[in-house]
Amino acid sequence: MITARYHREIPQRYRLEAGKCLACGHLSFPPRLVCPECKAKKFETVTLSDEGTLVTFTVVRVASDKFSKETPFPVGIVELNGGVRVTAQIADANIDELKIGQKLRIVFRRIQDDGKAGILCYGYKAIMA
């Protein structure tokens, strides 16, 4: 059962909420208790941009059992406008068209589930803009 664990990540997975360091302005996604840049401990919540570019990518062809029925699926590191990078699946993509530097947009999709009768787990994926 991953219920509680899933629930606490909702602000990040659904809305891309990050922590902005009040001292140096560094954006942490997900939010942290200590700023990795200046070590300050006070933050405000900000929402990240839903647009970005593809930094690097792969196509997962051999996945864990949980994702094995969805292969092949592309996964990339996406740099969102503002500089924060996230790892995300690239949905609905024509694999042959993917290239580094590609403009992307974040969408809300089902990511996985906790088995046939367990909860459904949603979150962000990227699509070609």
Partner 1 sequence: MRDVVVIGAGMTQFGELWNKSIKDIFVEAALKAIEDAGVDHIDSMYVGAMSPGLFVGQEHLGAVMADYLGVTPIPATHVESACASGGASFRQAFLEVASGASEIVLAGGVEKMTDGADVTEALATAADQEYEVYQGITFPGLYALIARAHMERYGTTREQLAAVAVKNHRNGAKNPNAQFRSEVTAEQVMKSTMVADPLRLLDCSPVSDGGAAVIVASMDVAKKLKKNPIRVIASAQSSDTIALHSRKDITTLNSVVKAAEKAYKIADKKPADIHLVEVHDCFTIAEIVTTEDLGFFEKGKGGEAAEKGWTSIECKRIPVNTSGGLKSKGHPVGATGVAQIIELYEQLNGTAGSRQVQGARVGMAQNMGGTGASCVIHILEAS
Partner 2 sequence: MVGIVGYGAYLPRYRIKAETIARQWGTDPEAITRGLQLYEKTVPGQDEDTITISVSAARYALRRAQIDPQEIGAVYIGSESHPYAVKPSGTILIDALGIGPNVHVASYEFACKAGSEAMYVAYSHVKAGEMKYALGIGADTSQGAPGDALEYSASAGGAAFIMGSERVVAEILFTHSYTSDTPDFWRREGESYPRHGGRFTGDPAYFKHIMGAATALLEKSKMSPEDFKYAVFHMPNGKFPNEVGKRLGFKKEQLEAGWIVPWMGNTYSGSSPTGLAAILDVAKPGDLIFMVSFGSGAGSDGFIYRVTDEITKVQDRAPKLREMLDNQKTYLNYGEYAKFRRKIKLND
Per-residue b or e along 83-103, where b marks 16 or more CB atoms closer than 10 Å to that residue's CB: ebebebbbeebeeeebeeebe
What x-and-dash track marks residues 89-128 binding partner 2 by CB under 8 A? x-xx-x------------xxxxx----x---x-x--x---
Widest pairwise Cα distance in the chain: 46
Binding of partner 2 by 64 (CB under 8 A): no
Q: Which is nearer to partner 1, 19 or 76 (CB)?
A: 76
Does 127 contact partner 1 by CB under 8 A? no
Pick the binder of partner 1 from 67, 82, 105, 128 (CB under 8 A): 67
Per DSSP bridges, beta strands 73-80 and 51-60 are: antiparallel
